[in-house]
Amino acid sequence: MTTIGLWIAWCVAALAASALLTRGLIDWTTARGVVDTPNARSSHTRTTPRGGGLAIVAVIAGVAAVIAGLRPEEAVRIGAAVLPGLAIAVVSWLDDVRSLRNRTRFAVHLAAAIAATAMLGPIARVDLGSVGMVRFGSLAWPLTVLWIVGLTNAFNFMDGSDGIAGITAAAVAAGIATAAAACGTGPVAVLAAAFAGGALGFLTSNWQPARIFMGDVGSAFCGFMLAVLPMAVRADAVPELLPVAALALWPFIFDTAATLFRRLWAGENVFQAHRSHLYQRLVGAGWSHRAVASLYGGLAACGAAVATAPLLDPPVRAAADQVALAMLPVVPGLLVLLVWLAERRGDRVAA
């Protein structure tokens, strides 16, 4: 079997395992009362079990254990990425079962980010291709911790519509797998390919109408893993992998940052549940969950494709860099425009 065939096999195996585990979790979580009940701030209308992200956690943990067993020399770096993520999964599962204080969850997120940064090393520089190399110097440590903690929470905030977190995780993980393979870091490529498969397997029960939600256990874990996987490769490849994750996750990052800023500006409690994310406003204005998920998943896939293209075909570097730079304002502009058009149409229909 070719190397590419092997990665595809890992992805398909992870997909099948995750799909089966997710279906089993539907009854298991329902029986234990781990469910979401609709309220005024919900985007769903019926009681639905949550915690389906446990399937993704189990798949990633299992594949990481296999990689560590087959490639002992990679065990430390793989463990440095996955073990802190499992700590986040544990505290997030407890939060799904019996709501924990924000400070407790944040403390674990911060500790996990610090642990991963200490073991893998901070992000010292980022390769922006023809634009140049950005070096962080003394800011490397705080910026790396901010990247991990911020993305862990951003992914959690964005998991509020059927399929949106799962399809985005699959697209970003696939991009990281491709980039890691292009840089010759096979173990991370295998783990990321399995991650993509696990997210797709979860989607078989989470696509609209969702039979189970990811829950904090899945969303926080996915956000953390997508932040640290580009750091788990050898040090000289990190600057090339990080832009892949960042550009693919740009729709999630922008939506979270814009919503947080808007709520702070309005003097709202940012820790209180709400429905003011751009994706939530699209659903509220009449878009279906599958349409919103497809939009964000498609944008993530486009970002991953643009960022990985130069790694696979160096001659396209200059063109890819121009497209990537254009996506930075175009993606936010598109999201804002679509929300404005949808809400304007909704107002006309209501009138």
Q: Report pLDDT for 42.
A: 55
Q: Where are the domains of the chain?
A: 3-37+49-350
Q: Report pLDDT for 41.
A: 55
Tens-place pLDDT, residues 259-301? 999 988 888 877 777 788 999 999 999 999 999 999 999 999 9
Least trusted range by pLDDT, from 1-5, 87-91, 165-169 = 1-5
Tens-place pLDDT, residues 237-251? 999 999 999 999 999
Q: What percent of the chain has pLDDT over 70?
A: 95
Bridge partners for 127 per DSSP? 133
Q: Report pLDDT for 45.
A: 64
pLDDT at 351 over 70: no
pLDDT at 108 over 80: yes
pLDDT at 57 over 70: yes
Question: What average pLDDT score do residues 13-17 get?
Answer: 96
* Tally of CB atoms within 10 A around 291: 14
Position 64, amino acid: A
3-state class (DSSP) for residue 77? helix
pLDDT at 101 over 60: yes
CA atoms within 13 A on the CB side of 165: 34
Q: Report pLDDT for 349.
A: 62
Tens-place pLDDT, residues 119-165? 999 999 999 887 888 999 999 999 999 999 999 999 999 998 999 99
C-alpha distance from residue 250 to each of 41, 122, 293 (Å) = 25, 21, 15
CA nearest 315: which of 142, 130, 164? Answer: 130
Q: Report pLDDT for 100.
A: 86
Cα 45 to the chain's mean position, in Å?
25
350 falls in which pLDDT band (50, 70, 90)?
Answer: low
Cα 232 to the chain's mean position, in Å?
16
Tens-place pLDDT, residues 164-213? 999 999 999 999 999 999 888 889 999 999 999 999 999 999 999 999 99
346 or 14, which is more confident? 14
1 falls in which pLDDT band (50, 70, 90)?
Answer: very low
74 falls in which pLDDT band (50, 70, 90)?
Answer: confident
116 or 347, which is more confident? 116
Q: Report pLDDT for 8.
A: 83
Tell me the whole-structure pTM to 2 decimals. Answer: 0.94
Least trusted range by pLDDT, from 81-95, 111-125, 261-275 = 261-275
Q: Give helix then strand counts, H and E, for the chain.
A: 13, 4
